[in-house]
């Protein structure tokens, strides 16, 4: 699996959020400790979240694929029955 990474804006926002959490609930921390903690979360906990998201997506796709007949089935050879029904309704 490719390691989870954030772009610069996402990383800065995540670090700010971690710092705020620490300020409000624990002891304040700086940018470096918050960045290191973010790295730890991404490496240690990120794969758990990623794997669950993949499992959820697979389950959803399997559900949709299992119901393809219900979703996309089209009755075959319906020209004449529809045509006959139209004729009868015109009379």
Classify residue 79: in a domain, yes or no: yes
Burial class (CB in 10 A: 0-12, 13-18, 19+), 71: exposed
High-pLDDT (> 90) share of the chain, %: 68
What is the average pLDDT across 15-25? Answer: 96
pLDDT over threshold 70, residue 2: no
Q: What is the mean pLDDT of residues 22-26?
A: 96
CA–CA dist 30, 15 (Å, integer): 9
Kindly state whether residue 2 falls inside one of the protein's structural domains: no
Q: Could you tell me if residue 72 is inside a domain?
A: yes
Write down the residue that tokens 């730890």 correspond to.
40
Q: What is the mean pLDDT of the chain?
A: 91
How many domains, the chain? 1
Neighbours of 29 (CB within 10 A): 17
Residue 45 located in a structural domain = yes
Domain range holding 70? 8-90
* pTM (2 d.p.): 0.64
């Amino acid at each position: 699996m490719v390691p989870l990474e954030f772009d610069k804006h996402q990383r800065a926002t995540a670090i700010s959020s971690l710092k705020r959490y620490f300020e409000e609930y624990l002891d304040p921390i700086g940018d470096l400790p918050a960045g290191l903690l973010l790295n730890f979360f991404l490496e240690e906990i990120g794969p758990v979240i990623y794997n669950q998201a993949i499992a959820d997506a697979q389950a959803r796709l399997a559900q949709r694929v299992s119901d393809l007949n219900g979703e996309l089935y089209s009755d075959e050879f319906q020209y004449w029955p529809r045509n006959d029904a139209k004729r009868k309704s015109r009379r």
